[in-house]
């Protein structure tokens, strides 16, 4: 929000700085959107295709502590002697 404030203060005396600050402010708003979406996913949980893909991945199975962890470690050691 500070970039917006600075941009409006610089609008009349420095129009080139106004454009730059507004571009930065717009970019910062997109970051807030990503943060908000991430928080929403954490609060509600992930569902749909993303959840299905994560559940089927080897790394998620290994993180859950199943036998896949041992298998993944052994495969990695065989691939990189």
Q: What are the start-end ranges of the H helices in the chain?
A: 2-10, 15-44, 49-56, 58-63, 67-79
- The answer to whether residue 42 scores a pLDDT higher than 70 is yes
Under the banding of pLDDT at 50, 70 and 90, the label for residue 16 is confident
Known binding-site residues for Mn(2+) equal 28, 31
Whole-model pTM? 0.44
- The answer to whether residue 81 scores a pLDDT higher than 70 is no
Known binding-site residues equal 19, 23, 28, 31
CA atoms within 13 A on the CB side of 75: 9
């Amino acid at each position: 929000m500070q970039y917006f404030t600075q941009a409006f203060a610089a609008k009349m005396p420095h129009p080139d700085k106004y454009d730059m600050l507004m571009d930065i402010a717009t970019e910062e708003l997109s970051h807030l959107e990503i943060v908000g979406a991430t928080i929403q996913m954490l609060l509600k949980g992930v569902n749909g295709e993303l959840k299905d893909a994560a559940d089927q991945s080897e790394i998620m199975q290994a993180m859950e502590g199943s036998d896949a962890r041992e298998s993944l470690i052994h495969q990695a050691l065989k691939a990189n002697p």
